[in-house]
Amino acid sequence: MISNLSHRPRSIVFLGTAHDNGGTSILAGNLARAMRARGHHVEEWYLFGSDGDMPVGTRVFEPAKRSRSPLLLAALFFRVVAALRERKPDVLFGLQPYSNLLVGVAGRIAGIRNRIPTYHGPRTFVTPSLMALDDIVHWLGLYRQMIACANNVAATYHRNDMAVVVNGHDVPKVFSRAEARTALGLPPDAVILGQIGRLSHQKNQSFSLDLLQRLPEAVLVLLGIGPDEASLKSQIQAAGLTQRVHIVPAIAHGRIGLFYSAIDLALFPSRYEGLSLAGIEAIHAGMPALCSDIPSFREMFAASPLLTAQLLLPEGDHAAWIAHIRDILANQELRKGIGSELARLSPAYGFEVMAEQYLRLIDQWDAPPHRPVRAAVQTGL
């Protein structure tokens, strides 16, 4: 349970660039619900529309999809300033690189005291021009506090005044395998591999398709939408995998457990991550998840030598991935050991743990603005 820390209800706005059903927008929605439950008034604002399902009550400034038009971005800047002056929230959170800049600059112009950018991915993979602007905004002191979603993310920014609040997530509901596979239209008796995430270069679904060609006994479920959908469908057709790949655009949040209940093994061959919410869901679900050996997943499994050894694999090493897939599917003792370790790790990534730290920060922002506030760095168990 989240403790009763708050001195008074606040007005809070989460500002994102676009709601795309990705980790940052899901995280914002979950935090908004938790904060509302504590009596805070919370709104979600997005600059652009998207293919994702917008939560009821979300404010969208420009219904079209993302644009880099300088004129449109300038117009959006002034619209955000006007909206902030009208709303006057106590706390303004940014969710993505461009919206973080607006939090610092537009928020300062509008007179918002607590301007808080959040960082959900390594600096290396963000557009350099945006990071250069972000550095300037930070140097000018326009951010009251900065929050990174993981220690590995914070380390890439080299800022001593950045707090770390490690991502957490809800435990997905469990369904019977038969019910889950029927609901998703999957074969009842097949070996099913699953990958969840935006269909994008970052998530590297092409690698999962390459693995499937070497695993004739398996079926693959790709859960998500994104910019690579057309190219992935072309790859599926060209490889003759049409009957063995199921693309599921979305599952309602309360029924996301259908995905984990339906599959035998999860795949996360990502090129980079912050701290994957889907990976955390897999931990909560007790689902073995083979992951690229990148800093994000190494941090996620840091408290377990067994999981580090068994679930982290070299990016792009097809032979290693195939061997581990077959070993985990066939070796029940190994699978049982992995399941026990996932259950032990799960509490450290509970949603309540993360929400508690955000709420503590909000309470501490009643302190004078010249005094820096740091969140406790969570490192796992």
The reply to whether 306 falls in a domain is yes
How confident is the model at residue 180, as a pLDDT? 97
Q: Are residues 291 and 219 in the same domain?
A: yes
The reply to whether 370 falls in a domain is no
The reply to whether 228 falls in a domain is yes
How confident is the model at residue 282, as a pLDDT? 97
Look at phi and psi of residue 56 and say left if phi exceeds 0, alpha if psi is from -120 to 50, else beta: beta
What CATH number does the domain containing 235 carry? 3.40.50.2000
The reply to whether 86 falls in a domain is yes
Q: Give, as one character, the DSSP assignment of residue 174.
A: P
Amino acid, res. 331: N
The reply to whether 194 falls in a domain is yes
Q: Are residues 51 and 191 in the same domain?
A: no
Contact 197, 289 (CB under 8 A): no
The reply to whether 376 falls in a domain is no
Q: How far is CA 233 from CA 92, 204, 215, 270, in A?
A: 39, 14, 19, 19
How confident is the model at residue 67, as a pLDDT? 81
How confident is the model at residue 51, as a pLDDT? 63
Q: Are residues 345 and 357 in the same domain?
A: no
Per-residue pLDDT of the chain (381 residues; tens, 9 = 90+): 455 544 578 999 999 998 766 678 888 888 998 899 889 999 999 999 876 666 777 899 998 877 888 899 999 999 999 999 999 999 999 999 999 999 999 999 999 999 999 999 999 999 999 999 999 999 999 999 999 999 999 999 999 999 999 999 999 999 999 999 999 999 999 999 999 999 999 999 999 999 999 999 999 999 998 899 999 999 999 999 999 999 999 898 889 999 999 999 999 999 999 999 999 999 999 999 999 999 999 999 999 999 999 999 999 999 999 999 999 999 999 999 999 999 999 999 999 889 989 988 888 876 544 444 444 444 344
The reply to whether 373 falls in a domain is no
Element spanning 310, H or E: helix 305-311
Q: Are residues 190 and 163 in the same domain?
A: no
Q: Give, as one character, the DSSP assignment of residue 370.
A: T
The reply to whether 371 falls in a domain is no
Q: Are residues 245 and 271 in the same domain?
A: yes
Q: Are residues 273 and 359 in the same domain?
A: no
Q: Are residues 159 and 30 in the same domain?
A: yes
Q: Are residues 233 and 150 in the same domain?
A: no
* Parent domain of 271: 177-349
Q: Are residues 153 and 208 in the same domain?
A: no
Count CA atoms closer than 13 A to 28's CA, side-chain side.
30
Q: Are residues 140 and 46 in the same domain?
A: yes
How confident is the model at residue 253, as a pLDDT? 82
Q: How far is CA 141 from CA 83, 116, 137, 220, 374, in A?
A: 22, 12, 7, 48, 16
Closest by CA to 243, choosing from 295, 190, 196, is: 190
Residue 287: which residues within 8 A CB-CB, separation 6 or more?
260, 263, 265, 266, 342
Q: Are residues 237 and 326 in the same domain?
A: yes
Q: Are residues 63 and 105 in the same domain?
A: yes
Tell me how many domains the chain contains: 2
Which class for 351: exposed (0-12), middle (13-18), buried (19 or more C-beta within 10 A)?
buried
